[in-house]
Every structure is written in structure tokens, then in C-alpha cells.
């Protein structure tokens, strides 16, 4: 049973809200009878167990747990998933963001880190987050997970009749913005852009495009990918790939580590992101960005590599390093099968869901890959989410 707003070992009064037959039940805590030593006052009063469940702000479901215990719980989930679905016994601690990269976020409280936040709008124009697992807008007096510059300008006391949502965006270059979302689709070429800085490098992207929400996340993942790639297995001339590449963050991480002669193709289905990736990767003569779904891109590569006349191309892929950062659902069986056919030397897999990662690790192990190392990072404090970066190498 999954009991929201409780901690393992506590005694609570709970109400069952969802029964998935013999798979699991969901329940919500109504009262805490015997509290855990790991319980603390919720960092977001509007999400506290003292409120009725339907009036608790969603998006900070671990906010009542001490941060170090949050990380332990996330590590337990990752370890269990890798054992059950990946067939690997591995104890991986969940690390906090390096204070030098956190840029003012509170590592002790897990607050002040979100550079992006969406507030929803109710029928009467009231703004706020949704209550957990519902579309009920909860009015709030604070947004403690937001970076301070967004918390200061969040229009939580205002009304926006007719709007669909209010987005808060604080890029690392330029001023924070409040964006009222009406539902009208803006022409692609007219979409506002912003810049994000990671170390000495800048990335251009659409204001509403994807970027990691934690202020230190992009730098953390850049460093992790750079460190996890085995330099002895890396060939800068091979057909290296950055799958689900977005605006080129991780392809640039590879280029910055291995030099301007690196050959790498960033693959992304979003055309605007690919346009930005092409410009963001212009420093590397061998870098390119293509707009296509990853599964279709790999289907085409596998078909070409199966042609006997292209033996040299097959060799280029066997020498390759592949970085992939799929959506929460993971890469999945089809993509894994295609990658295994191409047989790159090493894979660096960035995952935001431990179960999807473990499933894909299991599929890769069945196809001749070994899980060498996993690093996990607490990029979403006060939530159950955890980011992991894994390296797998082909078994020779």
C-alpha cells in the first residue's frame, strides 16, 4: 500500500482512495498517531497533513521528511528497482547537488531550487498548484521550492480569468518572467527565447522549451556524463550519438571533454529544440543535430547497417559512445533492441525514473551489456523523484 504523507514506521489514520486489485492500494493520511523521528514540519504549509487531503498543494510530497531521509528513501527505491528489474545488486547513494552548483538553493531544507514552476488557474481566475492527483487548484501564500527571484514575483494573490496557467521562468541569463498561458498557440518562429549558462557555455532555447528545473541540475548532469564516459573506450571519430538530445546540453558535455574534433549527432523529435541544438553545437565541426524520433532514427541506422555494402558504417557504430536522456517512460524495448543491434562500445544513460532505468538496464544486460556504475542525484528535493546516470559497456 502507498500511503501519501506518511513515513515508513509511522502509525497513521489513512483513507484508501484507489484499489488496483492485487497490485497495490493507495491511501491518504488523515492523522498521524505516532510520528517518525524523520518527520519535520512541512516546508510548504499548504501541503501539510494538517490540511484536508483535497486541499493539500501537490508537488512537494516528501516535504514532511528530513532531507537526508528523503535521499535514503530514494536510494532504496533505486536499489530495489535495479535488483528486481535489472538483475543487478547495487547500492547507490543519492547525492545532494554540489553546493558550488546549487547557487543559493537550501540543501538542508530542499527549497529555493526550482527555476521553472507552473501555477494552474481555476474557473474563477484563482491561481495555485493542483492538489495531489487531482485538477483542483489550491490557493497558496508561498512557493518555497521556487528560486527566490521567482518567489518574489509569483502572482499568487492575483486572479487571471480566462487563462489556463501562469508559468514562472528564471533563466540563468536575464530577468525572471511571469508568463500567462491562454491556450492560444504561438507561431513557432515567434516563440520567445532565453539563454541558460552552464559553466562558461551558453545555450539558447525557447522560453517554454525543456530545461532542467533545478538551478544546479544542468551543470550536475554535464559533470556526471563527462566523468562517466570511459575515455579509453571513447573514439572521437566514431558515430557517437546523443539521443533525446534536446538543445544539445549533453552533446556539448561530450564535446567539451574530448575536443573540437569530436563527431556526434544529437537526435531530437522537437524541431525547435533541434534548431537551437544546431546553433548551440556550432563549436564542433563534427557535431550535427537532426529532427526525428529516436526510434525511427535507429530503425534507419539499423537498416543501413544491415546492408553488406556498409561494413565500415557498422564498425563506426561498434566504436561509438551513445548518450541517451529519454523521457520519464524510458527508452523502452524497441529502442534498446535497435541500440543492441548497432552494438556501441558504451552507453551513458540519464534517467529520471528508477523503474524505467532498471527495466532498460535489464534489457541491455540480456543483450550483452554490463552495468558498470550508477550515480544518483537529488535534483528534485521534497519530491519522490530522483535523477540517475548509468554507464553500461559492451561485454567483449
Chain segment 111-157, per-residue pLDDT in tens: 999 999 999 999 999 999 999 889 999 999 999 999 999 999 999 99
Residues 371 and 244 in one domain: yes
With cell 526550482, the residue in question is: 114
How far apart CA 389 and CA 375 sit, in angstroms, is 5
Which residues, in sequence order, are bridge partners of residue 95? 377
Q: Which residues neighbour 361 within 8 Å (Cβ) at sequence distance 6 or greater?
A: 82, 85, 86, 87, 88, 349, 371, 390, 392
Enumerate the H helices of 30-172 as residue ranges: 67-86, 99-102, 148-153
Residues 365 and 258 in one domain: yes
Same domain, 218 and 157: no
> Do residues 280 and 334 both lie within one domain?
yes
Are residues 80 and 185 located together in one domain of the fold?
Answer: no
Are residues 364 and 244 part of one domain? Answer: yes
- Count how many domains the chain has: 3
Q: Which residues of the chain have pLDDT under 70?
A: 21, 186-189, 305-314
Rounded distance between C-alpha atoms, residue 265 and residue 280, angstroms: 13
pLDDT in tens, 297-334: 999 988 876 665 445 556 778 899 999 999 999 999 99
Q: Which of 192, 225, 242 is the last residue of a domain?
A: 192
SS3 155: coil
- Which of 266, 270, 301, 129 has its CA nearest to residue 208? 270
Angstrom distance (rounded) from CA 20 to CA 26? 8
**CATH number of the domain bearing residue 221:** 3.40.50.150
Annotated catalytic residues are 352
Domain finish residue from 157, 192, 227: 192
- Rounded CA-CA distance 138/126 in Å is 8
pTM: 0.94
Q: Can you give the pLDDT at residue 380?
A: 97
The 8-class DSSP code of residue 305 comes to: H
Do 181 and 239 have their domain in common? no
Distance CA 282, CA 260 (A): 10
Looking at the domain assignment, is residue 109 inside a domain? Answer: no
Could you list the residues known to form a binding site for S-adenosyl-L-methionine, using ranges.
Answer: 212, 244, 268, 325
> What is the structure's pLDDT at 186?
65
* 108 occurs within a structural domain: no
Question: In this structure, are residues 348 and 258 in contact, taking their beta carbons and an 8 Å threshold?
Answer: no
The β-bridge partners of 106 are 111
Give 150's DSSP letter: H
Q: Are residues 145 and 253 in the same domain?
A: no
Which bin fits 279, alpha (ψ -120 to 50), beta or left (φ > 0)? alpha
Residue 243 domain-assigned (yes or no): yes
Cβ–Cβ under 8 Å, residues 238 and 314: no
Q: Select from 109, 75, 77 the least CA-distant residue to 92.
A: 75
Looking at the structure, tell me whether residues 378 and 351 fall in a common domain.
yes
User: What range does the domain containing 11 cover?
Assistant: 2-60
Domain contains 123: yes
Amino acid at each position: 500500500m502507498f500511503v501519501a504523507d506518511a513515513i515508513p514506521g509511522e502509525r497513521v489514520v489513512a483513507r484508501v482512495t484507489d484499489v488496483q486489485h492485487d497490485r497495490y492500494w493507495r491511501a491518504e493520511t488523515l492523522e498521524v498517531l505516532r510520528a517518525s523521528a524523520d518527520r519535520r514540519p512541512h516546508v510548504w504549509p499548504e501541503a501539510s497533513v494538517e490540511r484536508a487531503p483535497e486541499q493539500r498543494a501537490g508537488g512537494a510530497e516528501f516535504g514532511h521528511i528530513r532531507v537526508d531521509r528523503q535521499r535514503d528513501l530514494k536510494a532504496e527505491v533505486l536499489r530495489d528497482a535495479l535488483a528486481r528489474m535489472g538483475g543487478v545488486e547495487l547500492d547507490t547513494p543519492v547525492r545532494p547537488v554540489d553546493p558550488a552548483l546549487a547557487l543559493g538553493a537550501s540543501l538542508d531544507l530542499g527549497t529555493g531550487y526550482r527555476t521553472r514552476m507552473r501555477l494552474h488557474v481555476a474557473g474563477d481566475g484563482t491561481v495555485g498548484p493542483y492538489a495531489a492527483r487531482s485538477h483542483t487548484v489550491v490557493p497558496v501564500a508561498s512557493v518555497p521550492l521556487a528560486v527566490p527571484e521567482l518567489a518574489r514575483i509569483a502572482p499568487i494573490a492575483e486572479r487571471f480569468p480566462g487563462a489556463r496557467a501562469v508559468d514562472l521562468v528564471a533563466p540563468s541569463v536575464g530577468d525572471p518572467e511571469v508568463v500567462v498561458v491562454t491556450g492560444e498557440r504561438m507561431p513557432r518562429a515567434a516563440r520567445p527565447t532565453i539563454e541558460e549558462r552552464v559553466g562558461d557555455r551558453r545555450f539558447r532555447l525557447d522560453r517554454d522549451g525543456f530545461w532542467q528545473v533545478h538551478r544546479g541540475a544542468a551543470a550536475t548532469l554535464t559533470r556526471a556524463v563527462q566523468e562517466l564516459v570511459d575515455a579509453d573506450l571513447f573514439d572521437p571519430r566514431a558515430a557517437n550519438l546523443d539521443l533525446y538530445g534536446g538543445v544539445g546540453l549533453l552533446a556539448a558535455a561530450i564535446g567539451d571533454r574530448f575536443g573540437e574534433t569530436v563527431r556526434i549527432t544529437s537526435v531530437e523529435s522537437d524541431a525547435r529544440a533541434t534548431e537551437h541544438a544546431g546553433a548551440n553545437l556550432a563549436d564542433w565541426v563534427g557535431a550535427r543535430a537532426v529532427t526525428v524520433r529516436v526510434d525511427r532514427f535507429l530503425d534507419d541506422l539499423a537498416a543501413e547497417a544491415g546492408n553488406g555494402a556498409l561494413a565500415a558504417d557498422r564498425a563506426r557504430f561498434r566504436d561509438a559512445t551513445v548518450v541517451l536522456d529519454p523521457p520519464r517512460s524510458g527508452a523502452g524495448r524497441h529502442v534498446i533492441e535497435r541500440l543492441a543491434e548497432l552494438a556501441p562500445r558504451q552507453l551513458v544513460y540519464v534517467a529520471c525514473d528508477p523503474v524505467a532505468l532498471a527495466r532498460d538496464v535489464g534489457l541491455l544486460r540480456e543483450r550483452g551489456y554490463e552495468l558498470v556504475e550508477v550515480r544518483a542525484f537529488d535534483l528534485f528535493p521534497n519530491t519522490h523523484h530522483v535523477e540517475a546516470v548509468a554507464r553500461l559497456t559492451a561485454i567483449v
